[in-house]
Amino acid sequence: AQSVAQPEDQVNVAEGNPLTVKCTYSVSGNPYLFWYVQYPNRGLQFLLKYITGDNLVKGSYGFEAEFNKSQTSFHLKKPSALVSDSALYFCAAVKAAGNKLTFGGGTRVLVKP
């Protein structure tokens, strides 16, 4: 069975500081990993995905994520956080040969001015 864990319920960071949102996964076979962001009362917006290739994936709004196979992690990063980055972030994995996304529990990011 596959699972995705986001160990932090909330991350607080000052505007302008680096932002990291952690994600670890447990997937049999090759992992296909995604990050989404959700603003209040809205659906999820796609940020980036890792399928294969370069371990550093660049996505929307200045976000990037680093795939680390040995640590089974896919942490989301942004060099300089903005107040508008405050939202709920979800890491997700899809099972190879399957259709379904498995989501982590979500991490709420609060960027303070």
Partner 1 sequence: GAVVSQHPSWVICKSGTSVKIECRSLDFQATTMFWYRQFPKQSLMLMATSNEGSKATYEQGVEKDKFLINHASLTLSTLTVTSAHPEDSSFYICSARDGVAGYTDTQYFGPGTRLTVL
Which residues in this chain contact partner 1 in the complex, by CB under 8 A? Answer: 32, 34, 36, 41-46, 49, 51, 90, 94-101, 103-106
103: its two tokens: 């989501």
State CA 44 to chain mean position distance. 12
Least Å distance, CB 3 to partner 1, is: 12
When the beta carbons of 36 and 74 are compared against partner 1, the nearer one is 36
Least Å distance, CB 105 to partner 1, is: 5
Q: How many residues does the chain have?
A: 113
When the beta carbons of 60 and 80 are compared against partner 1, the nearer one is 60
When the beta carbons of 28 and 41 are compared against partner 1, the nearer one is 41
Of 17, 44, 57, 50, the closest CA to residue 106 belongs to: 44
Alpha carbons 60 and 54: distance in angstroms, whole number: 17
